[in-house]
Amino acid sequence: MGVTGSFKQRAYHLLEEPANRSIGRKIVVGSLFVLISLNVLVAFLETVHGFYANYEFILHPFTVISVGIFTIEYLLRLWVCSLNPLYHAPVTGRIRYILTPLAIFDLMTILPFFLPILLPFDLRVLRFFRLTRVFTVLKMGRFSQAWRSFSYVLRTRKEELIISAIIIFMILAISSTVMYYFENPVQPEKFGSVFDAMWWGVVTLSTVGYGDIYPISPGGKLVGAIVALSGISLFALPAGIIAAGLIECVHNKKNHESKGGGSCPDESNRK
């Protein structure tokens, strides 16, 4: 293995290898975590009136340095990803890697900075692009074991979650249509269409109940009561599925670690 290959292997262990527990790996993860946290904090502070104008001499260099570091990190990850068996092919493998959620999050971190340079925008759009630095918080998922466990649960329980989403949509569609039938004659300005009724259905099923749209007819009140009561248990369905999956994942992780493994089964082998 040449010097380039040795450096590539080292970079892969520092950036991508989840099983690596070296001091270098911990320094890289800790440094990126601090930099991400600072960028999110700055994005919030810039919404304070006059803050950016008063501290632009500090914030602008910090932004440039941060984006430079994130860009180098992104390019290095794109370079070393071919060492992962999942993305081994030089071209198609890297395309597959670019389309992974974590790689998309990395791109979202740096892309808003380069777009105003390449394309002309007015000041309001530029302010929006500065605020999009809050997307850097998504990069934390790369270093979080909790995110890995959560994504593992979403993959393994996707069929149950899809079924529960379909059930919720069916109930929303039916209840909104029935509510439109009862309320449109008495409240045409609020229940002017089934789509207007769907807004009522969403806030009622989710038990938020903003109160901007509510039934006044006897039939509408009856339907509203049924929907409100069913919403309590209905939205608990996907939450229960995810909670059960996380409990199972933690249990499997403990059993796996007792046998010399690491994270949830099959999770450590996927990106």
Q: Give Cα 266 to chain centroid, integer Å.
A: 22
Residue 17 pLDDT grade (very low, low, confident, very high; cuts 50, 70, 90): low
Whether this model's pTM surpasses 0.85: no
In the predicted structure, residue 177 carries a pLDDT above the cut 90: yes
Q: All domains of the chain, ordered by start, with CATH?
A: 3-143 (1.20.120.350), 145-271 (1.10.287.70)
Share of the chain above pLDDT 70, in %: 82
- Residue 264: what residue type? C
Name residue, tokens 């009856």: 222
Gap between the Cα atoms of 244 and 238, Å rounded: 10
22-52, pLDDT tens digit by residue? 788 888 888 988 998 898 888 888 888 888 7
Residue 229 has pLDDT above 50, yes or no: yes
- Entry field: residues in the chain: 271
Nearest to 51 by CA among 107, 127, 140: 127
